Structure 1
Amino acid sequence: MVVVETVQEAAPETEKKWDFASDKTFKKRLIRKGKGLFCPRDGSVCQFLITPLPPTSAETLTSRSLRLGHTLEGLKEIIIGEHDAELDHMLDKIIEHMKAEEVAEFKFNINAVEHTSLNTEVGSKAKESVLIAIRIELLSFVEVPELWELNSAQLVDGGRHHKEEGVKWFKNGNHVYALRRFMKAIRFLIVVDKEILENLAKENEEAAELLKEYRFLMANVYVNISAVQLKSNNYNAVIDNCGRALALEPSNVKAFYRRGLAHASLGNSSSAKADFLSALKLSPNDKDIRKELEKYGIGSKEPLKEMKTE
């Protein structure tokens, strides 16, 4: 008996199947398979070509991106995780699902209005979206270690970098980008093995300094997240994150102050007053803290007398 094998030709490009990403944020149609086992990840340097597909124009892509520049012509090089516009954030996610030399087409929606506030109702276009269709050829990328493969110093460096970028965005009034960076900082810092670092710090001065910086940095990232959450009236989250900060750094004035503001907004007068008094004890000349305490009938000298008796 002769068995005849039927070899099916590859489907024409127009018939290739569109597949949804696992989180449904984009659709992908594979044009050419990539090589190797690994995909880029946060921190990878990637070289690629990007082409807009109808109905997307080159102007739409370049105007909505902080990294693509003024033209899509030629080679593009990016570092995954190092740009914060919504389109760039989606490009990161897409490229993290590709392999070297892979070619694929993608479709996804982004907000018609680039939000800078976590309060998303920004005019009539707050809920409108723009369809983006692109083709990407990932030419190459540099593999980087997983977070769990980094040592404590590298993790602290990564956390510090993203925290500083977040502070820049917050000062510029972009709370969405700021929060995104602060959360990236947390991703690095929570991987630090605090128990091992604490044991090393008992005998090693360098480890002791690193532990001190880790605690300070982690606490301040939580406090910075709480600042963003205050802007969006997420008061319970503010209380939680300020509590986390104080567990790491009990003398953090901003944590007491912002938690006090959150308690006050929720009507927790006794808790708010206690936090403001704790903040004032650490920073007696702070006018903002004194102003809040005046709402509870405590004048400029009374808090100091009360705290001296504790």
Structure 2
Amino acid sequence: METPPVSPMGEKDTSQPQQWEKKPWENLDSTTQIRQQLQDPPSETLHLGVSPDPVTQILENTQGTEKLVSELEGDSDKSHGSTSKVTEGLQASDLWYCPDGSFVKKIIIRGHGLDKPKLGSRCRVLAFGFPFGSGPPEGWTELTVGQGAWREETWGEIVEKCLESMCQGEEAELQLPGHSGPPVRLTLASFTQGRDSWELETSEKEALAREERARGTELFRAGNPEGAARCYGRALRLLLTLPPPGPPERTVLHANLAACQLLLGQPQLAAQSCDRVLEREPDHLKALYRRGVAQAALGNLEKAAADLKKVLAIDPQNRAAQEELRKVVIQGKKQDAGLAQGLRKMFG
């Protein structure tokens, strides 16, 4: 009788392996190939990027984890197709929820040891199943946590967060938002020692934050607010670990992040970023203007008008504020007219 596979920690893996689509010329399924390659990885690796970046970002993901968990546990009514049989009856310890809700990780093979990749760790990674064109190259590659242009890709943020939660030798499935195909597979074969952010000197943190800010501005000007927001967010995470009041760059980063969030359709987050700026600089024109725009998008017309009027009190010739205030006034009149019409119908 065939016995279940045994993990590196000596624990039996009771989960059923993911079934992957076979190609006519292949004699082994993808899961078998993954584990064989893990035992004997090729010597060639892909080195991506060299510019140092901080570890994390703070953009909020609107996708919750409940749907992702239900899909992993097989509770979703939507089928993933004949090649995706999801294991039922998962143990709580087999699942890891990304704090921002961007994905759920299911551990297939447990790693060993307690150490996990940190800033500067070079990770030997095996990836399979990412949607075409949206993930790392399939097969073995080498990624450095906190460094490299790969982190600016859409998949880079998720992969980096996952790697920081893995132990050496761990193999996991990731359920990604909006991905209806088979779960993504990620294996961490090995990694070098890195450093936590608290281990960095103040000068190192500030230098990394400046590089992130410069890269974020470059991406913003190139029409990539999403990538810019990730850079600004990572810079802020580093500077927030410094003793208060912190460097003045934090104000600029929050203001820049607000601009990105407005373009990304996140007015609530943009207003919060502006609040951080105005706590330190109450007359910061860009923060006042951007918060006014955000409040208008949220339907808080009185708050929007107050911010925009304050901008014009400081800079009467500010055309952007003049135009935005005009829109807010028109929107307010329409709102009042609609309310009056509703009252007439109610009491007329």
**TM bin (shorter chain):** 0.5 to 0.7
- The aligned residue for residue 116 of structure 1 is none
- Return closer, same or farther for 1:180/1:110 CA change in 2, 3 Å cut-off: same
- The aligned residue for residue 64 of structure 1 is 134
**Cα deviation 1:110-147 (Å, max 9, x = unaligned):** 24xxxxxxxxxxxxxxx443334435243331321x22
User: Which amino acid in the other structure matches residue 63 of structure 1?
Assistant: G
Whether 1:95 aligns to 2:174 is no
Q: Does the 8 Å CA contact 1:280/1:289 hold for their aligned counterparts? A: yes
Whether 1:27 aligns to 2:78 is no
Whether 1:191 aligns to 2:231 is no
- The aligned residue for residue 231 of structure 1 is 263
**Pairing partner for 1:46 from 122, 142, 150:** 122
- Distance in 1, matches of 2:132 and 2:299, equals 47
Shift of the alpha carbon at 1:285?
4.6
TM-score norm. by structure 1 comes to: 0.62
Q: Does the 8 Å CA contact 1:230/1:262 hold for their aligned counterparts? A: yes
- Distance in 1, matches of 2:155 and 2:265, equals 27
User: Which amino acid in the other structure matches residue 278 of structure 1?
Assistant: K
- Return closer, same or farther for 1:166/1:130 CA change in 2, 3 Å cut-off: farther
Unaligned regions of 5+ residues in structure 1, if any? 1-9, 112-126, 196-210, 298-310
- Return closer, same or farther for 1:103/1:269 CA change in 2, 3 Å cut-off: closer
- The aligned residue for residue 145 of structure 2 is 79
Q: Select the structure with the greater relative contact order (CA < 8 A; seq sep ≥ 6).
A: 2
- The aligned residue for residue 189 of structure 2 is 138
- Equivalences for 1:1-310 in 2 at 5 Å? 11-13=4-6, 16-18=13-15, 19-23=94-98, 25-30=104-109, 33-35=111-113, 37-41=114-118, 43-50=119-126, 52=128, 56=129, 60=130, 63-65=133-135, 68=136, 72=139, 75-80=141-146, 82=148, 83-99=151-167, 102-111=168-177, 127-134=178-185, 136-144=187-195, 146-194=196-244, 214-215=247-248, 217-231=249-263, 233-266=265-298, 268-269=300-301, 271-280=303-312, 282-283=314-315, 285-294=317-326
Number of positions where the alignment pairs a residue of Structure 1 with one of Structure 2: 239
- Distance in 2, matches of 1:238 and 1:95, equals 29
- The aligned residue for residue 7 of structure 1 is none
Shift of the alpha carbon at 1:223?
1.7
User: Which amino acid in the other structure matches residue 138 of structure 1?
Assistant: A
Q: Does the 8 Å CA contact 1:16/1:30 hold for their aligned counterparts? A: yes
**Cα deviation 1:8-58 (Å, max 9, x = unaligned):** xx9525962452224471112226x445x42112x2231314153xxx3xx
Unaligned regions of 5+ residues in structure 2, if any? 16-93, 330-348
Percentage of identical aligned residues: 21
TM-score norm. by structure 2 comes to: 0.56
Shift of the alpha carbon at 1:189?
1.8
RMSD of aligned residue pairs (Cα, Å): 3.5
Shift of the alpha carbon at 1:288?
1.6
Secondary structure of the residue that 2:104 maps to in structure 1?
Answer: coil
